[in-house]
Amino acid sequence: MGEAMSCPKCRAPLEEVKIADGVVVRTCTACSGVLYEAGDIAVPLKLSGPRPARFDWPRCRRPMETTTSYEGQLEVDRCLPCAVLWFDAGEIMILRKLSGVENIAGKRESEAGEEVPPAAAGYVRPKQIKDPVPTEMVGVRNPDYENAPTVELDGRVYRHFQTSVPVTTFVLGEFPWIAKVGDTARMRDFIAPPFLLSQEVTAVESVWSAGEYLEPEEVWAAFALPGSPPYKTGVAPAQPNPWDAHLPSVWKSFWLAAAVCLGAYVLVLAISSQENVYQGAFEVAAADLERSRVGDIFEVKGRTSNLEFTVDTNLDGSWAYVSMALIDADTDKALDFGREVSYYHGVDDGEAWSEGSRYETFYVPSVPPGRYYLRVEPETDAPSQLNVRVIVRRDVPLKRLPLIALALLVVPALWAGMRHGAFENTRWMESDHPRTSSGDDEEDDE
Amino acid sequence: MSRWYRWYALAIVLSCSWALWRGWWITPVERLTGVPKSVRDNPGSYRSHYSGYHRYFGGK
């Protein structure tokens, strides 16, 4: 052996496994069938009656003969020119039972090419014990992968995690059953964290086992082990996602808080006055730029609130910076601020363009009630007279505030969701249904 | 996490409501004291902090 081969039955790669007496067999990583060189079977098979081929042998592309042995109780596929024998999963166990020989592997003369008598009795499929507990939910949609099967037990739905075909290559220790090199089984794991169901299918039985994930500390305490358990690495199949307990609560809090923020905005919008408190015009001649100007005194009533300033100009192909001070007429306090306004337009290659705007709106926050006046100092490169009109409104709720609040609220919730997802990605990475693989890798081997 | 987030959300909600009610915003507005009373009669006696603004002319 040595060359890469694929399974004649399902075309999955065959894996070399070294078993007793230096015999190397190849097992299918998907369907758990076993390929033997004809001379590596230590027991006589007495193959009989070729029947219609079930599949081709990929190495030589010839149909494999389907033969029977032990009066039709065992079905063996073979390729005479290549001298190989193919056993489906579980058929080796049947062969052991029928031959009464535990170690069926061993060097002997090939019988793959022996002349055999006509077909004998019909083929007997391995006996399967009907699953006594879980019920396969055929057709039930898997939340993550539609083709993955699920099983239900005690009202809990378990999702398929992994199917594997382990082969015993080495035995050491004591077992409550007869363990032999070459033993194989089809293992299927289903999870509903922290619970786990495992199915072990052999030629003669199907055994289901139920398990529950335990934290290392629980195991440590149960066995009264000294010290502390080793640090956890990776994610076990049935390990509960620590974010499961938080995520629904976080999103519930998010929606509640978002609703309150939006409600607060609507409420303040409904009761806000948004009244005009001042409107003034300032004319700035090109030769009179240096002079400061003051407007009339106006009154800001009510509670402390913001002021919305709209600076409207007659700019045309020029800019202006309007420096302003909102001066309290009764105290020595003032608020200093300024805004640039610029407006350019023209036609390039027959296409009209414009940049900027003749007016600008901005907000001065938290202005207490009182009597105020504006002092204006415009600067401009406008060649002609600059007309500046200033309109002031008080108590104008900013819609950007609830939007910012929503952004601040959603960031931790999204972060928690990402952590939850990352945990699940790590869990399923080791399964047959990795979440980050391409579509080609998501085929279910069930 | 969920407990921390509840307190965080409450703080955001209260801050947002307070800011809406009081008209708070992060706009940098300089609050000055000691402004002379004579500004109104002689506006040039008090110069804005922002006067002497020089604009970038790199545009169109």
CB contact under 8 A, B20 and A293: no
pLDDT of res. A353: 93
Residues of B in contact with A347 (CB under 8 A): none
Residue A395: predicted pLDDT:
92
Q: How far apart are CA B29 and CA A398, in angstroms?
A: 17
Q: How far apart are the first and last CA of chain A?
A: 28
Q: How far is A261 from chain B, CA to nearest CA, in Å?
A: 6
What six digits make up the tokens of A184? 């194989």
Please determine, for residue B2, whether its predicted confidence score (pLDDT) is greater than 60: yes
**Hey, of A321, A348, A371, A418, which one would you mutate to test binding to chain B, going by the most B CBs within 10 A of its CB?**
A321
Q: Is A293 in Cβ contact with B22 (below 8 Å)?
A: no
Q: What's the predicted TM-score (pTM) here?
A: 0.58
Q: Determine the pLDDT at residue A61.
A: 82
pLDDT at position A147 over 80: no
Tokens matching residue A390: 């200033």
Residue A376's nearest CA partner among A331, A341, A326 is A326
- Name A375's Cβ contacts closer than 8 Å, sequence gap at least 6: A292, A293, A294, A295, A324, A325, A327, B39, B43, B46, B48
- Predicted pLDDT of residue A133: 34
Contact A342, A320 (CB under 8 A): yes
Rounded-to-integer distance, Cα B52 and Cα B54, Å: 6
User: Which region among A51-65, A125-139, B36-50 has the lowest average model confidence (pLDDT)?
Assistant: A125-139
User: Which residue type occupies A315?
Assistant: L
> If DSSP codes are grouped into helix, strand and coil, which group holds residue A112?
coil
Tokens 């495992």, located at residue: A198
A333 and B30 within 8 Å at the Cβ level: the answer is no
For A283-300, write each residue's pLDDT tens digit.
888 777 777 888 999 999
Q: A290 vs A170, which has greater pLDDT? A: A170
Amino acid at A269: L
Q: Looking at beta carbons, which residues of chain B come within 8 Å of A291?
A: 43-44
Q: Report chain B residues whose CB lies below 8 A from the CB of A414.
A: none
Asked if residue A373 lies in contact with residue A352, where contact means CB atoms within 8 angstroms, the answer is no
Please check the confidence at residue A139 and state whether its pLDDT lies above 50: no
Which among A112, A124, A151, A136 has a CA at the least distance from the CA of A70?
Answer: A124
- Residue, of A118 and A434, whose pLDDT is higher: A434
Tell me how many residue pairs between chain A and chain B have CB atoms under 8 A apart: 167
Task: Reduce the DSSP state of residue A405 to 3 states and report it.
Answer: helix
Express each pLDDT in A347-375 by its tens digit.
988 899 999 999 999 999 999 999 999 98
Mutation for B interface: A256, A306, A322, most B CBs within 10 A: A306
Q: Which residue has the higher pLDDT, A410 or A94?
A: A410
Q: Tell me the shortest Cα–Cα distance from B38 to chain A, in angstroms.
A: 10
Neighbours of A290 (CB within 10 A): 9
Structure tokens at A217: 């500390």
Residue B13 and residue A245: Cβ atoms within 8 Å? no
What is residue A256's predicted lDDT score, i.e. its pLDDT? Answer: 94
Residue of A nearest to B45 (CA): A292
Highest mean pLDDT (candidates A74-83, A303-312, B19-28): A303-312
Q: Give the three-class secondary structure for B27.
A: coil
| Chain B: residues touching A (Cβ < 8 Å) | 1-2, 5-6, 8-10, 12-13, 15-17, 19-27, 29-37, 39-40, 43-44, 46-51, 53, 55, 59-60
Q: Which residues of B touch A264 (CB under 8 A)?
A: 13, 16-17, 20
Where is A390: in which H helix or E strand? Answer: strand A386-394
CB contact, 8 Å: A153 with chain B? Answer: no
Which H or E run includes A16? strand A14-18
Backbone dihedral region of A116: left (phi > 0), alpha (psi from -120 to 50 degrees) or beta? Answer: beta
pLDDT for A51 equals 78
**Stronger pLDDT, B46 or A426, i.e. the higher one:** A426
* Nearest-Cα residue of chain B relative to residue A398: B20
Band of pLDDT at residue A65, cut at 50, 70 and 90: confident
For range B13-26, the mean pLDDT: 90
**What pLDDT, on a 0 to 100 scale, did the predictor assign at position A371?**
93
The pLDDT score that the predictor gives to residue A2 is: 62
Which tokens is A102 given? 């535990």
Please tell me the distance in Å from A298's CA to the nearest CA on chain B. 13
Kindly tell me the burial class for residue A336, based on how many C-beta atoms sit within 10 Å of its own C-beta (0-12, 13-18, 19 or more).
Answer: buried
pLDDT at position A424: 92
Tokens 């307990």 correspond to A245
Shortest Cα distance from B58 to chain A (angstroms)? 13
- Rg of chain A over Cα atoms, rounded to whole angstroms, equals 41
Q: What DSSP line would sit under A388-432, residue for residue? A: EEEEEEE----THHHHHHHHHHHHHHHHHHHHHHHHHHHHHHTSS
- At a CB cut-off of 8 Å and minimum separation 6, what does A165 contact? A27, A28, A29, A30, A31, A32, A89, A184, A185, A186, A187
Please say if the pLDDT value at position A129 is more than 70: no
pLDDT in tens, A254-274: 999 999 999 999 999 999 989
- Cα distance between residue A25 and residue A206, in whole Å: 25
| DSSP for residue A12 | P
ipTM of predicted assembly, 2 dp: 0.76
Q: A213 versus A27: which is more confidently predicted?
A: A213
Q: Among residues 251-290 of chain A, which lie with CB inside 8 Å of chain B?
A: 253-254, 256-257, 260-261, 264-265, 268
A253, A379, A401 member nearest B9 (Cβ): A253
Q: Is a pLDDT exceeding 70 seen at residue B30?
A: yes
More confident residue, A10 or A135: A10
pLDDT recorded at residue A394: 93
Q: Are A265 and A401 in contact (CB under 8 A)?
A: yes
Mean local confidence (pLDDT), A25-36:
83
